[in-house]
Amino acid sequence: MISVDTEKKELIGQFYNKGRKWRPHGDPEGVKIPDFIDPAKPKAIPYGIYDVARNLGWVNVGADHDTASFAAGSIFRWWLTMGSRVYPQARELFVRADAGGSNGYRVRLWKVELQTLADKTGLHVTVCHHPPGTSKWNKIEHRLFSHISMNWRGRPLTSHEIVVKLIGATVTKTGLKVRARLDKRKYPTKVKVIDEEMRALNIKPHAFHGEWNYTIIPRTTQSMKSTKK
């Protein structure tokens, strides 16, 4: 079971970051206040996957757009690099997600991309969305993202590499470990999903609020077992 979400976008550069850190006396670090944001400035988009049972975090740091393709692609990347290794016999994946955003229950592209994920891995992907207004109940918020924010507080995020490094250095006394990777791929916005694509989905809504809870079943028996090598 994994808990997923996109952390807020972070400006890349010598910008003020809330919090404090130790500096030599008389040697403060100069920063800019991000009151007037330049759209051309790069941003970091951390999409997190939190393994609830093992207390393991994995963050895909995007540099383009927070889209449904980015969200589902982050889960697929987690499966290739971590999930399939710690759960080699897994046949099902349970995903807890918010109701909105790039992985929202109304986003057609999210479901299409999850179908691709299911087809490629052979996993039955069950998604349960938290009802609107209850996103803070999602475990990733207080078990992963809060610790990442505390770890980099007071530090300007001057590059994507620094963001990845600080996320990967996040640990807690309860045993949380986090891995992070930079994702430089492009994720176009405003991708339209036609009705035929939706009808082609092998999706089974649950009896209780099927719009929030559903299982996506692979359309092929072939799976990427090579990822377990």
Given this model, what pLDDT does residue 130 score?
96
Given this model, what pLDDT does residue 201 score?
97
Given this model, what pLDDT does residue 228 score?
45
Given this model, what pLDDT does residue 25 score?
75
Given this model, what pLDDT does residue 16 score?
64
Considering only CA atoms, which of 184, 190, 186, 189 is closest in space to residue 12? 184
The answer to whether 103 and 71 have CB atoms below 8 angstroms apart is yes
CA distance 155 to 17: 6
Task: For the chain, list residues with pLDDT below 70.
Answer: 15-16, 19-23, 27, 29, 31, 34-39, 221-229
CATH of domain 2-18+37-228: 3.30.420.10
Given this model, what pLDDT does residue 37 score?
63
Bridge partners of residue 127, in order along the sequence: 95, 214
pLDDT tens track for 153-176: 878 888 999 999 999 999 999 999
Which residue's entry shows tokens 């999903």? 193
Listed by start position, the domains of the chain span 2-18+37-228
CA distance 228 to 220: 19
Q: Which helix (H) or strand (E) holds 127?
A: strand 124-129
